[in-house]
Structure 1
Amino acid sequence: MSASLPLSVVVPVFNEQDNVAPLVREILAALRGATAFEIVYVDDCSQDGTLAALQALKAEVPELRVVRHLRQSGQSTAIRTGVKAARGDWIATLDGDGQNDPADIPKLLAARAAAEPQVKLFAGWRVQRRDSGSKRWASKIANAIRARMLRDATPDTGCGIKLFERAAFLDLPYFDHMHRYLPALFQRAGWKTVSVPVNHRPRGAGVSKYNNLGRALVGISDLRGVAWLIRRSKITPVEEA
């Protein structure tokens, strides 16, 4: 599929019916008149009214596209589904709970305009987290362990708002939970990454889909796997002869 837009905004969602409309309107306010774009929502087999809310919005928002998983598959798969369906050369991602601020997308685009071509990922950095104390402490510990093992020079890999080149992302190895390790994976592929301070907000409605213990147990296995990938990687310069 040849890309025909400069930007696609990909939003994975699971049971976020009350956050859909407010977030879509914020995306429109941030980007209409600034660049050509589309919004690709990926519904990860929601069990509430998320899909109905999205379908209702399509009638009034021509930029909106909706892709639906027929089986719940998780956030990483939903992001990859959205990127594969997207028509943009570059992808901006947002969490569907409203904690990421779409007004920060132009800030990421400005950072890209000022960066060298080797930078393929601009990662949001939540300088002031708006989560519970236990969640902030869990993230702080996880970030310290990740930084020590992967040496990805990234203060916050868990932030949902990111901007990256579509082609570079699709060239990365795919696995469940890969969205938490994108800076390390982009660097493994030979690209540079930049962290950009962004706004962070309390969840608009609904409840979090993660708990600290479950995230930690999965993270230990993932960290070992990503560290193994980095150790086994090889980057070979190529030129046309």
Structure 2
Amino acid sequence: MTTSDSVRVSLIAPIYNEYENLPDLVAKVESVMSAQPDTWEFVCVDDGSRDGSDKLLTELAVSRPWLKPYFLRRNYGQSTAMQAGFDAARGDILVTIDGDMQNDPADIPRLLKMLDERPEIDIISGWRKNRQDKALMRKFPSKIANRLISSVTGVRLHDYGCSLKLYRREAVRFVKIYGELHRFIPALAHEYGAKVMETEVNHFPRTKGVSKYGIDRTIRVLLDLMWVKFMLRFLHRPMHAFGGIGAAMFFPGILILFYLAAIKLFGHADIGGRPLLQMGVMLTLMGTNFIGMGILGEMLTRIWHEPGGKAQYLLREPPGKRE
């Protein structure tokens, strides 16, 4: 059992209404990790469960000093629960795992060994190659989503949705997750220079409890993907995003207004009732608004990064130091 303040490995599991699975999960983690030489802890974040999972966690933790339960005041969602686990964890290596017993804790020692043998790697992402979900409505949308996310982010993984992942603490130090962003952590960390690899892991069918998956989650993931794309490409240059859209509207609008002004002044044409006039005014005003948003974005970026703010770059350790 781990009683030392120094912890090398922190396992993190968001828990939501998993009363039936919790005893098996805790027992399996204990069986696997107790055989490891590393000091470790198991951080379970109850995400506002209503089935008694919070009380069961409290009871299980009484005789298990390595089990660290945390309780959110309400159901915030998996990403927030996982962020709470990251904040609470003390280990140098963070291992995320689902609380539904579909991930296999027995994979963790192998992944830890891989991470030790590959000091240049910061994140190992699990790939449920032989996925055991029976519902086609989970497999097919997931396959499409993984290809789309890989294409948009440039970090090509077969299985973004697999919760079993290993992170070096420094790799996710500056990553904050909201909404459904927990599945995008490898892509977000890659933006800060993290090196990501993928490996096959076991996957089991759910035998207890009720799945929390719904088609609405797919929609939320797509919306978050739009935000991730914007953040990865334009976080440090918002003017390129808003200014580009603004210019595409402003200059055609100005040309339309100049054209109408010319035929009014030199051709004495009546332009007051022309739809082209309304279009020119609309494009010019919308373009101006977008350019203004770009300028405000640039100002906010500088306020964020300059004195007292956050540096726009990160330094890394010299080559070979990690070994």
Q: Distance in 2 between matches of 1:64 and 1:93?
A: 14
Task: Give the structure with the larger strand fraction.
Answer: 1
Task: Give the structure with the larger helix fraction.
Answer: 2
What whole-Å deviation, never above 9, does each CA across 1:213-240 have from its counterpart, x for those lacking one? 2022112211111111111256746489
Deviation at 1:54, TM superposition (A): 0.9
Q: Is the 8 A contact 2:126 2:162 kept in 1?
A: yes
Q: Which amino acid aligns with 1:178?
A: L
Q: Which amino acid aligns with 1:106?
A: P
Q: Distance in 1 between matches of 2:80 and 2:143?
A: 25
2:55 aligned with 1:52, yes or no?
Answer: yes
Count residues in correspondence: 236
Deviation at 1:33, TM superposition (A): 2.8
Q: Distance in 2 between matches of 1:36 and 1:215?
A: 36
Alignment correspondent of 1:141 = 144
Q: Which amino acid aligns with 1:123?
A: S
Q: Distance in 1 between matches of 2:118 and 2:96?
A: 19
Q: Secondary structure at the match of 2:49?
A: coil
* Distance change (3 Å), C-alpha of 1:239 and 1:175: closer
**Greater alpha carbon shift after TM alignment, 226-235 vs 190-199:** 226-235
Q: Distance in 2 between matches of 1:127 and 1:174?
A: 26
2:125 aligned with 1:101, yes or no?
Answer: no
Alignment correspondent of 2:241 = none
* Distance change (3 Å), C-alpha of 1:191 and 1:52: same
2:174 aligned with 1:171, yes or no?
Answer: yes
Alignment correspondent of 1:225 = 227
Q: Is the 8 A contact 2:123 2:171 kept in 1?
A: no
Alignment correspondent of 2:73 = 70
Q: Secondary structure at the match of 2:80?
A: helix
Q: Is the 8 A contact 2:192 2:314 kept in 1?
A: no
Q: Is the 8 A contact 1:44 1:69 kept in 2?
A: yes
Deviation at 1:175, TM superposition (A): 2.4
Q: Which amino acid aligns with 1:218?
A: R
The unaligned stretches of length 5 or more in structure 2 are 237-311, 318-323
Q: Distance in 2 between matches of 1:238 and 1:129?
A: 38
Q: Secondary structure at the match of 1:88?
A: coil
Q: Secondary structure at the match of 1:38?
A: strand
Alignment correspondent of 1:28 = 30
Q: Secondary structure at the match of 1:17?
A: coil
Q: Distance in 2 between matches of 1:214 and 1:5?
A: 38
2:199 aligned with 1:193, yes or no?
Answer: no
The unaligned stretches of length 5 or more in structure 1 are none
What whole-Å deviation, never above 9, does each CA across 1:17-62 have from its counterpart, x for those lacking one? 0000101111111110312101110000100110121111112322
Q: Distance in 1 between matches of 2:60 and 2:93?
A: 24
What whole-Å deviation, never above 9, does each CA across 1:154-186 have from its counterpart, x for those lacking one? 111100111102233131143221111011111
Q: Secondary structure at the match of 1:45?
A: coil
Structure ranking higher on relative contact order (CA contacts 8 Å, 6+ apart): 1
Q: Distance in 2 between matches of 1:78 and 1:205?
A: 21
* Distance change (3 Å), C-alpha of 1:72 and 1:237: closer
Aligned-pair identity (%): 36
2:192 aligned with 1:180, yes or no?
Answer: no
- Pick from 141, 155, 158 the counterpart of residue 155 of structure 1: 158
**Greater alpha carbon shift after TM alignment, 172-181 vs 39-48:** 172-181
Q: Is the 8 A contact 2:6 2:39 kept in 1?
A: no
Whichever of the two has the greater Rg, that structure is 2
* Distance change (3 Å), C-alpha of 1:239 and 1:38: closer
Q: Which amino acid aligns with 1:192?
A: K
Q: Distance in 2 between matches of 1:80 and 1:232?
A: 24
Alignment correspondent of 1:123 = 125
What whole-Å deviation, never above 9, does each CA across 1:62-118 have from its counterpart, x for those lacking one? 21111000121110110110111111111111111110000011111011011133x
Q: Which amino acid aligns with 1:226?
A: V
Q: Distance in 2 between matches of 1:115 and 1:88?
A: 18
